[in-house]
Structure 1
């Protein structure tokens, strides 16, 4: 069910992007240069087919967003992040790295008291 709603949601998102980009701009950018002097634009603009489709697609997009939120909340009901963290077991003693040596590919420097063959030491040459 979640996958079906998610696919519909993605189709609606793409449709909204396309419809908004196809619509004709009415006025200047960010509302500049609009209005004034009794032009063809009235206080109440006529609703075109594109504008109606935009409103319908936006409403359906919001509905699918809410549906996806409800589905996700139902899936996680009864369990919290802290409950899932409590089930992680500690590593066994044999899996831990000894404190006196670092793994071969480690980026950490060797401990202060250890003599590592890879350490940069002055040569006696």
Structure 2
């Protein structure tokens, strides 16, 4: 299940990158078509279509990111990292253990 969602997530990511790069920026940027889409749509209509497509792909990207995060959690039963910490009064003393003496044979 996680692999399927990951593949869909990657496809959405590539589509989102492509749609964002095709859009015409304020300064002209990487916009394709020089303001028109070859008579297919007006410049305003293509901008609305690209904006709507970007919004839909961004929402899908967000949803698949959440699904992947939930699946990666592994259903830990609602536990967090803080559940594994020791209680404040049950900590071991802060004195470090003495290092072990090296065992070297004497007289050899």
TM-score computed with the length of structure 1 as normaliser: 0.45
Map of 1:8 onto structure 2: 8
**Residues 4-13 or 18-27, more deviating:** 18-27
Whole-angstrom CA distance in 1 between matches of 2:3 and 2:28: 41
Q: Counterparts of 1:36-115 in structure 2 under 5 Å?
A: 48-74=48-74
Whole-angstrom CA distance in 2 between matches of 1:54 and 1:26: 17
Whole-angstrom CA distance in 2 between matches of 1:73 and 1:49: 36
> Secondary structure in 1 aligned to 2:74?
helix
Map of 1:24 onto structure 2: 24
Quickly say closer, same or farther: Cα 1:25–1:53, change in 2 above 3 A: same
> Secondary structure in 2 aligned to 1:48?
helix
Whole-angstrom CA distance in 2 between matches of 1:76 and 1:12: 28
Q: Which runs of structure 1 show a deviation greater than 4 angstroms over 4 or more consecutive aligned residues?
A: 75-78
Tell me by how many angstroms 1:50 deviates: 0.5
Report which of the two structures shows the higher radius of gyration computed on alpha carbons: 1
Structure 2 unmatched ranges of 5 or more: 30-43, 82-108
Aligned-residue RMSD, C-alpha:
2.9
Between structures 1 and 2, the one with greater helix share: 2
Structure 1 unmatched ranges of 5 or more: 30-44, 81-125
TM-score computed with the length of structure 2 as normaliser: 0.51
Whole-angstrom CA distance in 2 between matches of 1:75 and 1:9: 21
Tell me by how many angstroms 1:27 deviates: 4.5
